[in-house]
Amino acid sequence: MPATTVAAASAVRSVDPCLIYGSIYLERDPRRRSYCFAAAYEEPDEAFADLMVFKEENKLFADRAGYWYITTSRDFADYVVFVSDKRALADFAIHYTTARSFAGCRKQ
């Protein structure tokens, strides 16, 4: 294998959804996907989600994995996450929960 192929293959990494919390801007425009930190798929069934997300009302309480304060401003967000409509193009799947205690990462 040529050295350039090995270097390119080792540069690819997956995104750990357990590290994403705080203020999140959800980008839905496919033209801006390359400017996003990660791509997520909104899973309709919680059994297949990698991350259970609880939408916080206050940014200060979004301090652990799965606690997201959804912001309307891209400039002040901690993370910009692209929301893909195709599961195969996403780095991980999320499911929104209404119970704060269910939020968090699902290790598999």
pLDDT tens-place string over residues 38-82: 999 999 999 999 999 999 999 999 999 999 999 999 999 999 999
Q: Does the pLDDT of residue 11 top 70, yes or no?
A: no
pTM recorded for the entire structure: 0.82
Q: How far is 24 from 38, CA to CA, in rounded Å? A: 11
Residue type, 33: R
pLDDT above 90 as % of the chain = 82
Confidence of residue 9 (pLDDT cuts 50, 70, 90): very low
Q: Return d(Cα 24, Cα 11) in angstroms, integer.
A: 25
pLDDT exceeds 50 at position 6: no
What single DSSP character describes residue 44? S
Distances (CA, A) of 106 to 3, 18, 46: 36, 8, 10
